[in-house]
Amino acid sequence: MKKILGILLLVSLFSSLPALAVRIEISAPGEQTIPLALTRFLPMGGSATDSATKVDEVLIADLDLSGLFELADRAAFLSDAEELGLHSTKVDFGQWRLLGVDAVVKGGYHIDGEKLVVEARLYDVVSQRLLTGRRYVGKVGDERRIAHSFADQIMLALTGKMGPFNTRLAYISTRSGHKELYLMEVDGQNPLRLTDHRSIVLDPDFSPVRKEIIYTSYKKSNPDLYRKEIYTGSEARFSQRPGLNTGGRYRSDGGELVVTLSKGNNSDIYLLGTDGTIHKRLTTHWGIDVSPSWSPDGDKIAFVSDRRGNPQIFVVDINSLKVERLTFEGKYNATPDWSPTGEWIAFTRRTEGQFDIFLIRPDGSGEHRLTFAPGTKEHPRFSPDGRFLVYSLDLKREKSIHVMRIDGTGDRRLSAPGGNDTHPAWSGYWQ
């Protein structure tokens, strides 16, 4: 991290003005794209394997999803694409300038038994300097993770903000015959089932500080809150009050949780310690109060309440407990998710016989609809960089996990066909 910042600093200090133009002030997709050449990674000694293809596929998919780049046509590449070029002095920048690209990605790999080494470089074509360089040492089979990680570095180098590709998605799937908790990569690869409750598991959320997921399960015949360490598999039930123990969401520092508890009587929003003890009751109303979501500063909670007759989004200040209504349009607004940038709150609204995803600013302005295609969209959740939304799409016969940019473009399906996959949650940065 420090290294990269150092590189960035060097770039900004010593590069000429046109070079600065590469480190563009793009933070939102669609505004302007960076012309980028992505070369295939080459073997560094030894024979060629399919490692290059795996790295290539992931980099192309990630950079495409980002919406920030315009990838140059490989058919137009000249001889430098066949050179390793792991140092800026070994790159023929003139060839790349001819193609009109601002930046070029080069890389190599070496396999020694099970060991895999990948070298990856991002160069600024105009200033002819290294923007970011990484050396990855792992095992054969780690290609995808390495590529996701370098895609994040490319985004950091060119936009100043890390990409979210080397993270994970948790979701609920019925593929085993029951609703169980699953984990997959952000492009839908390598799905892994984490629970075997053979009951009903719902609504996961990642700890921002540990490799841990919380969720609700009916394993012990009541909707209780559980936590599970992802790698050890160790699981504990930590809120089992009568009635609903649902909607658990970690504060961004992991120090506290917001949850829905009904205590067998009426659903309200509470703050819990990570040990499950109640720290504070945030709402006291006879109506339904559910689906809490933290503001990034941790001082406010967006939630759903029917206190005005039908489900609408409200915001409660956790210090003053003052409640303000956020949504006024529509008769059914639900599942708010506060962007980690603080800029938006995503939610679902019942439109013409289906639910669609909307964004609204926390002050109630700027409300707009993101999805228009057929099918009900549910459970929108932001990526840790706030650039993307993951959600579940219900097309009657099948439910699947989708991802899109927060301007509604770039929509694509992530989960494999043939399942009912819902309730996605995006992890924080994974390392």
Binding to other proteins in span 69-98, by CB under 8 A: none
Is residue 285 a contact residue for other proteins (CB under 8 A)? no
Binding to other proteins in span 327-356, by CB under 8 A: 332, 334-335, 348, 350, 355
In the bound state with other proteins, the residue whose beta carbon lies nearer, of 253 and 352, is 352
Alpha-carbon distance of 73 to 274, in angstroms, equals: 51
CB 311 within 8 A of CB 317: no
First to last CA, the chain: 11
Alpha-carbon distance of 118 to 142, in angstroms, equals: 10
In the bound state with other proteins, the residue whose beta carbon lies nearer, of 277 and 310, is 310
* Burial profile 11-25: b = 16 or more Cβ within 10 angstroms, e = fewer: beeebeeebeebbbe
Alpha-carbon distance of 324 to 38, in angstroms, equals: 49
**Residue 200 DSSP one-character state:** B
Q: Select the residue interacting with other proteins from 423, 424, 425, 430 (CB under 8 A).
A: 423
Binding to other proteins in span 179-208, by CB under 8 A: 179, 200, 202-203
Given the structure tokens 């997959």, which residue do they identify?
184
Alpha-carbon distance of 154 to 156, in angstroms, equals: 5
Q: Select the residue interacting with other proteins from 53, 176, 310, 409 (CB under 8 A).
A: 310
CB-CB neighbours of 121 under 10 Å: 24
Phi, psi angle pair for 136, to nearest 5°: -110, 130
Stretch that binds other proteins, among 23-31, 34-42, 219-227, 321-329 (CB under 8 A): 219-227
Is residue 269 a contact residue for other proteins (CB under 8 A)? no
**Neighbouring C-alpha atoms within 13 Å toward the C-beta of 118:** 29
Stretch that binds other proteins, among 31-39, 73-81, 239-247, 364-372 (CB under 8 A): 239-247
Work out how close the CB of 181 gets to other proteins at its nearest, in angstroms, rounded to a whole number.
14
Is residue 65 a contact residue for other proteins (CB under 8 A)? no
Work out how close the CB of 220 gets to other proteins at its nearest, in angstroms, rounded to a whole number.
11
Work out how close the CB of 420 gets to other proteins at its nearest, in angstroms, rounded to a whole number.
11
Q: Select the residue interacting with other proteins from 217, 291, 327, 427 (CB under 8 A).
A: 291
Alpha-carbon distance of 66 to 68, in angstroms, equals: 5
Judged by the rule CB under 8 A, the positions of this chain that interact with other proteins are 179, 200, 202-203, 218, 221-223, 243-244, 246-247, 260, 262, 264-267, 288-291, 304, 306, 310-311, 332, 334-335, 348, 350, 355, 376, 378-379, 396, 422-423
